[in-house]
Amino acid sequence: MFEEQCSAMSHKVTIRSDLADRLRFAARTLVEHGPFLRVSLRSQGADEHDIDDLLQDLFLCLATDRAPYEQISRRYLYRVVLNDFIDLKRTARRREELLYRATTASNGEALTPSDRPLVTADEMDQLRSIIERRLPPCHAQAVVLRHVEGLDVGQTAQRLGVSPRTVSHYISVGLRRVREFIGERKDEP
């Protein structure tokens, strides 16, 4: 169990004192509240794999400089892991919906591989060129990294050195502008 690993870690840490204090704090917090959080997440339908991932993410959050470094309430911790669990499920549901839409025709019939529209390399180069010419650099980079190179929002944020929320904003604005430009070009004679 992750809580036991935290307990063992809280006794073995011999690194920089401020980081060591944060790691001990994170470990103590999870040892104290981990069983409650584990039961709470199970009651929400989380499986053991998801629970371990969520508790590890919480540990890392508590060990960072951005986390509140004081006694944290059980209620606060519950809210944090529950929100993360909800985000995890929403992401999975969105992927399933996108996969379903990508594999079904507008009339609901399954598409065969030969029915699926393909984008040629030339078309992809043209689209990338439009993105890079028509969008501010930050928006263009975010759209290209996310939708051309296939990185997820977190990886894109890391590459650009901004928050995932900022990346989502860049992508939203960027894609809207690309759609508008493409729509204008279709209307031209």
Domain end point (choices 45, 63, 96): 96
Is the pLDDT higher at 69 or at 140?
140
Alpha carbon distance 59, 81 (integer Å): 11
Is the pLDDT higher at 106 or at 57?
57
Please name the residues in contact with 61: beta carbons below 8 A apart, sequence gap of 6 or more.
67, 80
| Amino acid 36: pLDDT | 92
Q: What is the mean pLDDT of residues 54-78?
A: 78
What residue has token string 């929320």? 165
Check whether residue 87 and residue 131 sit in a common domain: no
Please name the residues in contact with 132: beta carbons below 8 A apart, sequence gap of 6 or more.
140, 144
| Domain membership flag for residue 164 | yes
| Amino acid 6: pLDDT | 57
pTM over 0.75: no
Check whether residue 84 and residue 136 sit in a common domain: no
Report residue 13's pLDDT band, with 50, 70 and 90 as the boundaries. very low
DSSP letter, residue 112: P
pLDDT in tens, 72-122: 788 888 888 888 888 888 887 777 777 666 666 555 565 555 544 556 667
| Domain membership flag for residue 108 | no
CATH of residue 161: 1.10.10.10
Task: Return the bridge partners of 104, or none.
Answer: 110
Alpha carbon distance 53, 20 (integer Å): 22
Check whether residue 141 and residue 70 sit in a common domain: no
Q: Give percent of the chain with pLDDT exceeding 90.
A: 11
| Domain membership flag for residue 102 | no
Do 41 and 51 touch, CB atoms closer than 8 A?
Answer: yes
Check whether residue 19 and residue 86 sit in a common domain: yes
Alpha carbon distance 10, 105 (integer Å): 55
Check whether residue 91 and residue 125 sit in a common domain: no
Domain interval for residue 169: 118-187
| Amino acid 166: pLDDT | 92
Q: How many domains does the chain have?
A: 2
pLDDT beyond 70 at 188: no
Please name the residues in contact with 114: beta carbons below 8 A apart, sequence gap of 6 or more.
none
| Domain membership flag for residue 48 | yes
What is the phi/psi pair of residue 155, to 5°? -65, -40
pLDDT beyond 80 at 154: yes
Is the pLDDT higher at 65 or at 111?
65
Is the pLDDT higher at 146 or at 116?
146
